[in-house]
Amino acid sequence: MAGGFSVLPASTGTDEKATSGTKILGPAWARFPILTVGLLGVQILWSVEMSYASPYLISLGISKSSMAMVFVAGPLSGLLVQPLVGILADSSTSRWGRRRPYMLAGCSIAAFSMLLLGYTPEFAAVFTGRDTPFNDTLTIWLAVLAIYLADFSINAVMSVDRALMVDSLPPSLQAPATAWAARMLGFGGLFGFFVGNLDLPAVLPSFGSTELQVLSVIVAGILVFGHLTTILLVKEEPFERPDGQRPPSLIAELRRLFTSLFSLPCTIQQICLIQFFASMGWFPILFYTTMYISDLHARSVSASASIGTQTEIAAQGARLGSRGLFFSAILSLLTNIFIPYVTRTANTPSGQRFKVPLTTVWAYSHLVFGACMLGTFFVTSVNGAIFTISITGIPWAVAQWAPYSLLGEAILTSTKPTTTTTVEANPLLERPVKDVEHGAAAKLDIGNQAGLIIGIHNIYSVIPQFIVTILCAVVFAIFEGPDSSASVAAAAQSRPNSVVYIFRLGALWSFIAFKICRRLGRELRR
């Protein structure tokens, strides 16, 4: 049963070829957790960044419009790092394997960046001393640097995490492995948002005096420990180039990436296109939920004439935003635990055909998300906003699992008839010289290019994030007004909640994703 915690069957036939000689140490029942435990730390890092980065940057004096440009780090790193690391890892001949060296380097940098973000004033004070104007400026720049380092490094880690799963398992095990990855992401999100509701400095005073400082230490430790577990227990077979073949240059690899963008197999191309429109809707929710709920909280405080300093109101709003994300993470985790048992993919045994196709589940998850975004037209209270954000946990669970499961299967099973022209145009499709000379049609697998394909898929995820980031900057600049230093209460009284306009546009993108996903499902059932 997909997603079940069971002994992994031995691969046979073509499935054995898909494993690329990778060995996973330990009992068979622990292989899925071993492969995916690193994603636990990845999601905790994202959870902390989503919950705390926005309010923290605002507290340092960065305006909303400027902050939107800071968060371009996420899509920029996804656009550059994931594809580049993917193609470099694909051709790596390291004796430690193709993926693990990049995994170790990436998680080390990510751990350092989290510590830098949590202790930014302390790092700045080393160079400037405390309570000086230059210290404040350097603190802001170091915080921005920390976010860029975190986003760039964690994207590299995610790229090799996903590629290692594809390398290590046959097509029939891609769905349950990806379900386990989604569960790790769910546990990570749940943990990250749960601790955001605690008074962490009182619980762990030795880790720091602020919640962000304590969280940065916790995140760094979990991230490194999880990936060390995978690095030590997963043994990759080193990649060997044919005799006389030179390693490709960086320019050649980038040219191969660009060419492959326009010559993917049909199934993979449609998965990427669905991801493009889905990301247009998800990006604002992932980064501006706390701001949205905090703004509603500030309005309620102002309306009731409650007394509180700007810092207190902002802290309360951040906790309420974290609470909404926490409830969303609970629903996401529960969905990831149970929904794999009622879904099926192309490789599901014939005796389980009564289950719902995964493409159908993915399609209707877009409708649920769109309905939540349209619900912001009617939400005027903090509790209503928390409820709406909580419901998005259901489609988010599917978004963490479905596209990667379908993509993993497609990478290992996609074939494509080619002629001399298409082979020359598409370096993904390698053929024997004699076949090229005769120009005969052939079916060629692309399973050894997992890093490249996952990187291309991520490009389709991050390009819309650039679009949405620019859109957010424009909308925030229009509605924020010229004086960003005004008190929270005054701002709440005189300005609309600008985030909701970005949320509502997300409904449009999700409906387009639904339409394409339904078409993909019909084609896969033929």
Residue spans of the domains in the chain: they are 26-239+249-524
pLDDT band per the 50, 70, 90 thresholds, residue 37: very high
Separation of alpha carbons 255 and 308, rounded Å: 57
Share above pLDDT 90 across residues of the chain, in percent, rounded to a whole number = 25
Q: In the prediction, which pLDDT does 149 show?
A: 93
Burial of 391 (0-12, 13-18, 19+ CB in 10 A): middle
Contacts of 432 (CB under 8 A, 6+ apart): none
User: Which of 17-31, 198-212, 431-445 has the highest mean predicted lDDT (pLDDT)?
Assistant: 198-212
Amino acid at 366: H
Taking Cα atoms as reference points, which of 355, 376, 453 lies closest to residue 412? 453
* 424 pLDDT above the threshold of 50: no
Tokens coding 375: 């619900």
pLDDT band per the 50, 70, 90 thresholds, residue 447: low
What count of residues does the chain have?
Answer: 526
| Main-chain phi, psi angles of 495, to 5 degrees | -125, 145
Contacts of 354 (CB under 8 A, 6+ apart): none
Specify the 3-state DSSP secondary structure of 337.
helix
Separation of alpha carbons 474 and 496, rounded Å: 14
Q: In the prediction, which pLDDT does 354 show?
A: 67
pLDDT tens for 80-101 read 888 888 888 888 888 888 889 9
- In the predicted model, what is the mean pLDDT of residues 101-130? 91
Amino acid at 111: A
Tokens coding 503: 């949320």
pLDDT band per the 50, 70, 90 thresholds, residue 310: low
Q: In the prediction, which pLDDT does 242 show?
A: 67
Average pLDDT value for the chain: 79
pLDDT band per the 50, 70, 90 thresholds, residue 272: very high
Taking Cα atoms as reference points, which of 517, 479, 505, 484 lies closest to residue 274? 517
Q: In the prediction, which pLDDT does 71 show?
A: 74
Q: In the prediction, which pLDDT does 309 show?
A: 66
Residues 484 and 498: beta-carbon distance below 8 Å: no
Give the DSSP per-residue string, 469-497: HHHHHHHHHHHH-S-TTS-HHHHHHHS--
Domain 26-239+249-524: assigned CATH number: 1.20.1250.20
Q: How far is CA 257 from CA 91, 167, 206, 448, 449, in A?
A: 13, 19, 47, 14, 11
The residue that leads in pLDDT, 514 or 125, is 514
Range name among 4-18, 59-73, 332-346, 401-415 with the lowest pLDDT average: 4-18
pLDDT band per the 50, 70, 90 thresholds, residue 474: confident
Separation of alpha carbons 361 and 405, rounded Å: 12
Residues 288 and 472: beta-carbon distance below 8 Å: yes
Amino acid at 303: A
Residues 513 and 386: beta-carbon distance below 8 Å: no
Contacts of 259 (CB under 8 A, 6+ apart): 425, 426, 427
The residue that leads in pLDDT, 99 or 355, is 99
